[in-house]
Structure 1
Amino acid sequence: MRPIEIQIHQVSGQLGLNITQPNINLKITAPNIEMKTTPVSLDLTIEPPEILIDSKASFESMGLQGTYSFANSLAEEAKQACIQGIEKRVSVMHQMEDPHSGSIGQIIAAASKPREKQLVIGLSPSVRPDISAKLGTIKGTYTPARIDATVKEGTITNNFTWGKVDIYMEREPSIDIKT
């Protein structure tokens, strides 16, 4: 007899893998902050102080006058001179009516004496000037600083795909026995 020869031919099976990786697709939008600032404001209105000096009385005490004051005093003097002149003429007429008062020439000579006017100018005033003051003011308008902000929130968008493993038989196992 012949020995029996058995041949076994074995082919291993082979598995194949299809791997799909997991995928994370993130889209991120950063938040947006818009800021508008208004600076502080201070507006000042200043009214300066005033010093008022009225030296009219001081000048008049020295015999010095302003234009209007001088004109008024001359007008007053002219009025008084006119009244005195009228009174003098009336007095002369009354004297002329009286036959015992003397001759007309004597009456007119006595009435026509020049009038003397005395002008006095001083070197220093006898009356102090009138000094007054008005205080100044400062008014302010204050507006505080301001910050206005607008915030747009950021976004996160997620597109996620799960990973997976597909197993398939790439080669079938087999055993081949031959005698």
Structure 2
Amino acid sequence: MPIQIQSTRAQLSVQTVNASLEMQGNGGQVLALDTERGSLEMESTSPEIEIDQTACFAECGLKNIKDFMADSVAYGQQKFQEGVARIVEDGNQMASIENKADPIPDQAIQNAYTMFEHEFNYDAIPKSRPSITLKEGDVNYQYQPARVNNRTVSRKVENNFTPGKVEIAVAEYGKVTISYDSSSLSYHI
């Protein structure tokens, strides 16, 4: 072959210096907390309902002993006065001889029959309503919220960073060599 081509590749030189990071302190911290507990104080009074049915029971004949005794005494006094008035009237009728009437048959019928006649009636009892009194309850409270006091101080992290380097240089440039042999050249025309 009359032409020869030779080539060599270029060679690079690469030098690197690694980056470095130096840190002092890790930022860690010990928590310093003070806590105060919350408190809730409550005081309550219960509601009360008072139902007084004394009047209703009294209308039905169910009375307490004091009212029963007072009514019995009043009834006894009334019947005593009615009895005395009847006896006095009967005596006055017998004493009035001037009328020339015989009161004994009328008094006998009165004392035997008329005095014991009664009228009966039906009625719904009780007529009055019970007395209802409401005493409301009450709730008093004092609330003190919980508190947290944070006395933690953060620590600084110190760092020293050295950047890395990459140096690239051409150690050997590439070449292309072309040679030819002139003795072997022949021209034909």
- TM bucket (normalised to shorter chain) is 0.3 to 0.5
Length-normalised TM-score, structure 1: 0.46
Instruction: Point out the structure with the larger strand share.
Output: 1
What TM-score, normalized by structure 2, do the two folds share? 0.44
